[in-house]
Amino acid sequence: MSGLLLSLAIFLLIASLWLFWRAQQQRRETGLPAGEIIYADASNWRQSERPLFSQRYLLTGKPDYLVETGGEIIPVEVKSTHLSGDKPYRSHALQLAAYCLLVEESYGHRPSYGIIQYANKTIRLPFSDSLRQELFDMMQAIRSARSASLVRRNHDDPKRCVRCGFRHACGEPIAL
Ligand code: SF4
């Protein structure tokens, strides 16, 4: 039973993370480091076989690939979208940061960076102290929101509500 509750809690946390990232996607990006555009040899990328899990942070996730290079294990996330410039979308950066944290927890070594492969370019994003802290801040905000009696909608985009899997339980969907 406790295993079921733990699984449910993890699922809800991941769902919340995903929703939070989506909600933040359109906001102005501040403070995030720009990534470095690199040429990546994908021949040594191996697909993650199972989700990584952190008991300490009650966090789980499955990067698309893990790369062993330079004595480090580097998470790689593949996105089908195009990116203009060299600054990844905030939601993508935080998702990658979560994978970096999970690699750190699972393999006992903090990766110095992660990789996001967009349709048109590949970005190497440092897993800096500031990005790590931003991830912790976001996780804390989500946990606080989960115990709040009311969490207000934080966007005015009807398209999000149309696609939202939580519409049935949401008190503030935008009607179309
Ligand atoms: S239905 Fe509710 S939870 Fe879903 S996107 Fe709209 S406001 Fe957010």
Tens of pLDDT, residues 144-175: 887 777 778 888 889 889 988 888 888 889 97
Mean pLDDT score, 102-127: 94
Task: For residue 153, report the distance from its CA to the centre of ligand 1, in Å.
Answer: 7
Question: Is residue 92 within a helix (H) or strand (E), and if so which, with residue range?
Answer: helix 90-107
pLDDT at 14 over 70: yes
Q: Is residue 170 part of a domain?
A: no
pLDDT bracket for residue 81 (50, 70, 90): very high
Residue list, ligand 1 pocket, CB within 6 Å: 153, 160-161, 164, 166-167, 170, 172-173
Its pTM stands at: 0.67
Tokens of 96: 């990658």
CA of 8 to the centre of ligand 1 (A): 20
The confidence band for 33, taking pLDDT boundaries of 50, 70 and 90, is very low
- Give residue for tokens 């102290």: 129
Residue 165 counted as domain residue: no
Report which of 99, 125, 123, 121 is spatially closest to residue 110, judged by C-alpha positions. Answer: 99
Instruction: Please check whether residue 166 lies inside any domain of the structure.
Output: no
What is the number of structural domains in the chain?
Answer: 1
| Helices (H) then strands (E): counts for the chain | 4, 8
Is 15 part of a structural domain of the chain? yes
Q: How many residues can be counted in the chain?
A: 176
* Residue 18: per-residue pLDDT: 72
